[in-house]
Amino acid sequence: MSEDTEGRRPNPVDLHVGGRVRMRRKLMGVSQEQLADSLGLTFQQVQKYERGANRVSASKLYDIAKTLQVPVSFFFEGLADPMSGAEIDATAQHAEKVVQEFLTTPEGLELAEVFPRIGRGRVRRQVLDLVRAMADEAQRPEVA
């Protein structure tokens, strides 16, 4: 491998688009293999798209949008508008990343589906407090 390609990092736009593909695929309950089959690709190629390791061509992104039943613009939501010259707010970018990471886990997706069904705000708050306490506990070093 040449020095130019060794250690190259994926373009942030490719990472964003790939993350949105992964999020939408998971929200629809579609496996990488199923998406790949519908696009005439291997599941490894879909993996590379989702990781941002390979760029998605315009025609393939159109096919992905059609398969996942979203407008092509869905994959660019959350990115700064290149015509405005303004950068996306770092807080908004962080929130988008957190939501994407959460929804791409099977447990996160299920939690997102069932959590709103908890009708009482007090109970939802207790669930949140429990999850926070568990996360804090997981962060603490074990004492022998």
Domain total of the chain = 2
Task: Answer whether residue 3 shows pLDDT above 70.
Answer: no
Q: Are residues 138 and 78 located together in one domain of the fold?
A: no
Q: Are residues 74 and 129 located together in one domain of the fold?
A: no
The string of pLDDT tens digits covering residues 53-105 is 999 999 999 999 999 999 999 999 888 777 876 666 677 777 777 877 887 77
Q: Look at residues 13, 99, 22 and name the one whose alpha carbon lies nearest to residue 58.
A: 13
CA atoms within 13 A of residue 123's CA, in its CB half-sphere: 6
Q: Which helix (H) or strand (E) holds 102?
A: helix 90-103
Question: Residue 81 is part of a domain; what is its CATH number?
Answer: 1.10.260.40
Give the structural domain span for 138.
Answer: 114-144
Q: Are residues 74 and 92 located together in one domain of the fold?
A: yes
* DSSP 8-state symbol, 72: G
Q: Which two tokens stand for residue 23?
A: 């999020």
What pTM does this model have?
0.69
Q: Are residues 25 and 80 located together in one domain of the fold?
A: yes
Q: Are residues 76 and 142 located together in one domain of the fold?
A: no
Q: Are residues 100 and 118 located together in one domain of the fold?
A: no
